[in-house]
Each structure stands twice: as structure tokens, then as C-alpha cells.
Structure 1
Amino acid sequence: MTGSPLLALPGAVVGEGLDAGVAAHYGNPMVEQRRLEQGRAFVDLSHRGVLTVTGPDRLTWLNSMASQALDRLAPGEGAEALFLDASGHVEHAVHFVDDGGRTWLVVERDEAAPLAAWLDRMRFMLRVEVADVTAEVAVVGVMADPSALPAPHAADAIVWHDPWSAASPRGYQYARDPQHPASAWNWTELVVPRAWLSELADAVRSGRAEVAGVLALEALRIAAWRPRFATEVDDKTLPHELDWLRSAVDLHKGCYRGQETVAKVMNLGRPPRRLVMLHLDGSDTVLPVAGDPVVGEKVRPEPAPGEATERRVVGRITSAAMHHELGPIALAVVKRAVPATIELIVESHGIDVAAAQVEIVPADAGAAVEVPRLPRLGVRP
């Protein structure tokens, strides 16, 4: 798979790390954010992986393993689902679309081969075939309907509409903010033949289309509290910690790997960690990177004169960006017990960056059902 033709556009700066292979920006990330937010630009996501599953058993087979109900997908309908391990930890996050003859799975680049191999092992005697088609197709995204792409691409694409914009009635939302920022998140991904990338580049050069880099997308995603597998997930992540039950889990569905843990934490327990958004002090022009520690200061009730406060690491940065309206912002996963009112500090590049947290998964998020308490022995009503 060769580099994207969109990297040859004037001003293109190649992305790094997780987003290597596509443009981080094309000269002005802030302007690109506004264009993307207004539905005037598209984003090159041709570094994403794409799998297909064909065969008459494909939907019931995928449904048996995924956290989301997939057996009822109508042609053209999409969904988001997670594949979990036996302990309920997130192993893969997938964007699904079925076109009536095959099911398309869009994943992070590094997840395509491992997921294809795992699915192939799980076929048994069922009538399904798994294929990695990343070399043949590419993904592009728009913050609107597909009309942001020049015709005829929009009409011929496989289209996935992100369900994050509204909580699923068959899921559960931990976030309590009535003005959830996801209401402005109108994200759509399109799977197109990879050869079309050259045509899209020509459309940008001729002024028929506008393009934005992945930095613009990341800033809007963080502001919408939208988790991404490549950044927010580690080997301990439970869906509850990222408020992912709102879009990727059907709580009325059972019998899939990890389902027992999902139900237990939902009904009887508490998420051990929680996702927060951080408003960062931008006076030092330092933007944290993934993995930077988030610390809290433990203040004694009556500190001795000159006694230093004790710092404790309470979490880590997962994503950070410069937003065109909010300024420097970040997503972080912190310990459940961290108070919502405490001011946090991000240690980054040898500098302390003050951070004010906005709860996504609340600190007091608990069981969704009340468990009756049995009276202690000897107690009379």
C-alpha cells in the first residue's frame, strides 16, 4: 500500500505515530477545524484498516461475538461494536456497515491483521469468509452528510454514520451533562475505492473540495468526549470507563464473550477508572502527549509550616489537542476515587500544566440498579 495521494497537496504535513501515512494538517489546523466542523471539508483516513465478511451466516456469526446487536442490520445500516476478552476488557473496536451482501469492518490500521486472524480462527463450520481489503479501499470522513465529497463519490461509497451523537436506547450513558457535546458530533465515514484518493486530491487542487488534516478531527473528537480505540484503550479498559455503553453496547443482548463483566459492573459495581476531559492552562504553550502523568496534590488538614504537599499520580493523558474555541484540551483516564472538584496537574515536557477536569464518567458513578440491603442480625424494625 503506497502513501496517500493527498499527501502531495500543497502544505501537507505528514502525521506521526498512530496517524502516520496521512496528513496531520495542510498548513493551518485551526482553519481546517472550522471547515470540518461546518461540513465543508473531508479528512483523509486512508491509514485505517478495512475488513469484509461475506457469507450467509455473517451477521448471526458476528452478532454472537460482539457487544452490539448485529443480526438485525439492514442493508446500508451501520453500528459500532466492541470485541471483549473473557474478563470484559476491550480488545477491538469496530465500525460495522452491511451492504446486503457483505459486512464492512473499519478499524485502526494496526488492528486489521490481528482482528482478521482472530475472526478467521472463530469461523469453525460456519458459512463465512473474512478478507482484509485495506489495500483496495480507503476511508475518508466528513462532519456532515457525504455531500462534502465531490460527486459521484458520495453516492457510490459505503457509508457509516457514527452513533456517538445520541445515546442508544439499548445502551447506557454515565455522563450527566444535559448539554452533552456529542449532540454536535455529526461524524460520517465513507469507504471508497483507493483509486479515488487521486480524484479527491484533484478536486482539492481545482477548488471543488476542501480537505482537513487529522489534527482537526482529533480536536473535535476530544471536545465531543468521543473515545478512540488507538488512544483511550489499554489492556485494562472496560467499556464503562469510557462511557462506551452509550454507543457500542446493547445491554439487552447476552451470550457474547465478556458480557458477564459488562452486566456485573453495570448492575452491581462501579467502573474502576473514568474518562475526563481536561481544560489545560495554555500559558506555557505546552500540549501534553499520550502517556503523560496526571497528578493530584494531597494536602494535609493542618500542614506544618514549609511542609510540601504530596503528589500522587492519579491517571494518564490519552489524547490532547488545540481546539479553535476551547484552547488546549485533553482526554485522560483517571482513578475512580479522584474527586471531581480537585484541580489536577499534568506533568509534561518537564513543566507542570494546570488542568481543570470536566466529568464524563462521574466520580460517583455506581450501580444502575439498587441492590436491597439485608438487615443485620439482631436489628428489629
Structure 2
Amino acid sequence: MTTPSPTTPADDVLRAHAEYEYAAELAALAAADDRPRPPRWQLSPWAVTTYLLGGTLTDGTVITPKYIGSRRLMEIAVASLATDRALLLLGVPGTAKSWVSEHLAAAISGDSTLVVQGTAGTTEEAIRYGWNYASLLAAGPSTDALVPGPVMRAMRTGSLARIEELTRIPADVQDSLITVLSEKTLPIPELDSEVQARRGFNVIATANDRDKGVNDLSSALRRRFTTVVLPLPDSLDDEVSIVTQRVSSLGASLELPADLQSLSEIRRVVTVMRELRGGVTVDGRTTLKSPSSTLSTAEAISVVTSGLSLAAHFGDGVVGAHDVAAGLLGAVVKDPVQDAVIWDEYLETVVRGRPDWDDLYRACRDLGTGAHR
């Protein structure tokens, strides 16, 4: 995998890997970090947790929070990786599983790119190793013909490997991890050889708990993981903070010339998502029907970022109700029949009754009138 050189500005990269985007913070933490570090860790567990949750160092360097939520959950995740137990991050879509996985790998190993993307078509070779078939046909199995996968490369270098959407991978392929996680060894029977993991190696996997029943983990594999469930944000303020931070970062990366200090619509977008997701208004007085869509924090980030682009390129640079209305409609209405009815009911019973939401009601109605017909 080609990654930008850490000494070269990644101006042309749409989204830099975490170890490059936050290189200054990681360097400051490393300089200030005087605590014990596990073998081949770039930072101590304390510094890794500070990198994730944010803080201010003794030299005044501000570490921005990458995850807003329970400190104890992050401490458990980091502590697990400092042992021989792998880590499974579990949660509904949009709970920052992949985001946390990437930042853990960046802070611990300085490399977040050793990734296996789980799908129904993921093969054992993607996890273990494959072959250069030209070399294989010419000279048979050999070390030169071997093509190591991300897990094997992580074992050789004592780094963290990431496996995204583990439960999307077929069960028999999942179980190829058992020997790796239990024996810290990857056999290569074709060469009558094996790769033994260097100290520092471990695995971070993510899984969507809505995929339960798709390819459930075997009990043998599940025992090899410490499972940390990442919840949705506890409060409206926490979720607003997460969305604001991510939209600000995305806006800067995409060079969207909009006023990031005036994103007053974020709180309304997050409120809509939380109310429809939870099936009740924030004051607890009105019960609502929930649509089929997830309406996660990630969806709120997408809605506001889309509104930011509209405001930057077709408006006055300040995100307003008319900029987020289309994104809200698209996020909520996935089923054109059932969800459209739920959305219309929400507009009429909740949004219309809030005087300071009149502009949002009109903007949504201009786009969605008759959507259920």
C-alpha cells in the first residue's frame, strides 16, 4: 500500500492516514511520554489514551479528542492490546468503531494501514497470505513467490493489524485467525514453515452488532477477543461536539469556504436524528415511530457536511435550514413508502410545532411535500 511520506506534505491526499494527519500531536506525546511502553509501542498506554480522548500536555500542546465518550472503555481497549488478547470493537453503525481502530493503530504502531476489509467475498488468502502465480508456476512454492497479507506483515513487524467488519467474513475464513490469535503463529504448510509474531503484534477487529446472525463468531474465536461495545453518544451535547469536530475537519480537508463558526444547524440535525432514532422527542412528551434507517452520528456528519458544501458553493457560506433539508430527507427516507410516512408525521407533529424551527419545516416541506404519495 502506498502512503504519503511523513516528511512530505500530503496536500494531494483527500484523507491522510491518522499517523500523518496527527503527526504533530503524536510527536508531542512521544516527547512528553515518560511512562513504560509495551514492546514496540510508539507510546505508553497512558499516552495512547490521551491521544484518543484529548488533553493538554505540560508544554501546553493541546491534543484534540478523537473519541468523545467513556474514558473507561478506551482504557479497557488499550489495556487489552497491551496483553496477548485481541480487541473486538462492537456497536451499531456510526459509533466510530473504524475511527477508533485506525487511531489506536496509529498511536500504538505508527501505521494504521495493515487492514483487512471484511466482506462476504473475503478469502483466507486476504487474511493469511497468497501467491505470485507467475513465480509459483515457474518455480513452485518459495519464499519469493509468497505474498503476505496484512496480518502476516503485522506479525513480522510486531505491529497492529486491523480487520474491518469481521462478522461479514464467512465463518470458515474467520476461523483461520484462531491459530494466529492463540499460538501467535501463522503456519505456511506449502513451505513447511511458519511465521511467529514478534512482540507488539496484535489484532483489532470491528463488527456491526446489527449483523448478528450473518456470520456469527465461533465460541473458539470469540474467546480470543476482549469485546468492547461502543455505544451511541450519551447526550445531545456530546453528539453535537462529535459532529462539529468531524465536520470542521472535513470542511478544512475539502477546502470548503464556509463559516464553520456559524453551524447552528448542527444541533437541530442531531436533535432530529436522536429523536427519530430513539422514538421519542427530547422532552420525552411525544412518542415517535422510528424509520428503517440507522440515523447514526455518521449520518449526521454526512448531512451537515453536505449542507456545508451547498452553503459554500451555492449560498452565502453560512449553513441554513435549506442547506440541510435535503440531507435530512435522504438520511431518513430509505424506504420510499414506510419511511416517507414516518418523516411526514414527524414534520407535522414535532417540527411544525417548534416556532424556532419554522424555517426547517418550510425547507423540508418544499422538498418533501407529497413524498409519501
TM-score if structure 1 supplies the norm length?
A: 0.28
Q: Which has the higher contact order (CA 8 A, sep 6+)?
A: 1
Greater strand content: 1
- Rg larger for: 2
Greater helix content: 2
